[in-house]
Amino acid sequence: MKNKFITFFLALSIFIVPLAAVVTVDHISSKKNIKVEKKEVQNKGMEELLVNFYKQTGIYAFLNPKDGVKNAKGDEITKFQQSYGRIIMIGISFVLFYLAIAKGFEPLLLIPIAFGGLLANIPLANIIGDGGFIGEFFKAGISNELFPIIIFMGVGAMTDFGPLLANPKTALLGAAAQFGIFGTLVGAVALSQMGIFGFSLQQSAAISIIGGADGPTTIFIASKLAPDLLGAMAVAAYSYMALVPIIQPPIMKALTTEKERKIKMTTRRKVKKIEKILFPLTVLILAILILPESSPLIGALTFGNFVRESGVVDRLSKTLQNELINIVTIFLGLAVGSKLAAEYFLVPEFLGILLLGLVAFSIGTAAGIIMAKIMNKFSKEPINPLIGAAGVSAVPMAARVTNKVGIEADPTNVLLMHAMGPNVAGVIGSAVAAGVLLSIF
């Protein structure tokens, strides 16, 4: 009986042990599989997170442009503009940084504009679109003409019209420099009629104002005559204002002789305080009577100048000259720079505006110099033809460039204050030209 029990037990053991082993191994294997699956799930989740993160980077956006992407205006952005175009514009922004910092070309303008251009070409961030902070700057101060008006107040407060009052005939140089505006208007219309450009008459008129090298006036007239070209025109105008030291000297030297550049002008008469007080009021009254369309710009300019010359509100004058205009310059520069985005800049229309603006500015510079040469022939007092280049309204950049070119010809020949006469006349002249264009068109 005992032997039978042992035999049965051994037989049962032979069956149960392998079965238990199989069950145990299967159980252990199941646990291992569960761990592996969990690990695979975790790895897969991590990979998805990394892939999703990579798709939100600028690197991915530059390398993988998409179809159907639209800008703030609703126009489709090409794949080139999304990738290489943005890289090109970022490179242009760094070139502008170099010109502003290393060369000193109007850093107050170029640095905000270039930084705005850098921010505008960042993919995915929507900095210049609806809700983006630079997009809001553009809507708050450029689309509604507010920033140009405030800038003109500051310019008026910083401007001394004494050189113009001391030598009133230099106002003719400021007027002559506006020829670039009307000459380019004719050229733009002709090119459009030939099918080279597709600008309307109003758009051509707005583009031509760039010839005055006056950013605020350009924005003001563009918002009324060509709002769809506002961004491109603002960039062109402020770019040429900042690049006056590059554009003007070759034209000045080409149209004058070494002897003419060495002409020394006589000392100006002393202007009385009452003259300076009455001048802005007189200019404003004339604008109201003859060209009321220009009164917003002329009014802001003369208000700032009247505050300065009154001599009884120094706090207001200093605020206009410093804090207010500095703050607005920052906002305006960033907003203008937003139009350096590849989708706005790298289009034939924009490049056409840049070309016509350059032609307008060059013609204005040349017209001022030629007028100064004519005046020098018939004037009893010597007139250095270089000051005619200051007739464009890029204050005080054009006057400084005139002085620099004069000093290169003769280190003892200081033309700065003489050049300020046509320079400030150019400010008024560009505003008047804008009023004329608005009245006509």
pLDDT, residue 214, reads: 81
Pick from 323-327, 368-372, 376-380: least confident: 376-380
365: nearest Cα among 106, 170, 176: 176
DSSP state for residue 264 in the 8-state scheme: P
Q: Is the pLDDT of residue 217 over 60?
A: yes
pLDDT, residue 222, reads: 86
Long-range CB contact pairs, 264-267, < 8 A, 24+: 264/382, 264/384, 264/410, 264/412, 264/413, 265/381, 265/382, 265/383, 265/384, 265/387, 265/415, 265/418, 266/381, 266/382
| Confidence band for 360, pLDDT divided at 50, 70 and 90 | confident
Pick from 16-20, 94-98, 368-372: least confident: 16-20
120: nearest Cα among 110, 132, 111: 132
pLDDT, residue 343, reads: 86
- Mean pLDDT confidence for 222-227: 85
pLDDT, residue 339, reads: 84
Pick from 72-76, 182-186, 383-387, 393-397: least confident: 72-76
Percent of the chain beyond pLDDT 70?
Answer: 89
pLDDT, residue 38, reads: 52
Percent of the chain beyond pLDDT 90?
Answer: 42
Q: What is the CA radius of gyration of the chain?
A: 34
What Cα–Cα distance (Å) separates residue 52 from each residue in 23, 40, 57, 62? 43, 18, 9, 16
Of 19 and 283, more confident = 283
| Confidence band for 173, pLDDT divided at 50, 70 and 90 | very high
Q: Is the dihedral of CA 150, 153, 154, 155 positive or negative?
A: positive
| Confidence band for 85, pLDDT divided at 50, 70 and 90 | very high
DSSP string for 284-305: HHHHHHH-GGGHHHHHHHHHHH
| Average pLDDT along the chain | 85
Q: Is the pLDDT of residue 330 over 80?
A: yes
159: nearest Cα among 438, 422, 441, 432: 422
What Cα–Cα distance (Å) separates residue 139 from each residue in 187, 216, 295, 299, 416? 31, 15, 23, 23, 37
Of 356 and 10, more confident = 356
pLDDT, residue 351, reads: 80
pLDDT, residue 13, reads: 47
pLDDT, residue 12, reads: 43
What is the pTM (predicted TM-score) of this model?
0.81
Burial degree of 83 (CB within 10 A; 0-12, 13-18, 19+)? middle
| Confidence band for 33, pLDDT divided at 50, 70 and 90 | low
pLDDT, residue 40, reads: 55
Structure tokens at 415: 């033309």
Q: Is the pLDDT of residue 311 over 60?
A: yes
376: nearest Cα among 365, 385, 386: 385
Structure tokens at 137: 């700057």
Q: Is the pLDDT of residue 25 over 70?
A: no
Torsion of CA 83, 87, 92, 98, to 10 degrees: 170
| Confidence band for 43, pLDDT divided at 50, 70 and 90 | low
| Confidence band for 230, pLDDT divided at 50, 70 and 90 | confident
Contact 428, 298 (CB under 8 A): yes
First CA to last CA across the chain, in angstroms?
Answer: 126
Q: Is the pLDDT of residue 394 over 50?
A: yes
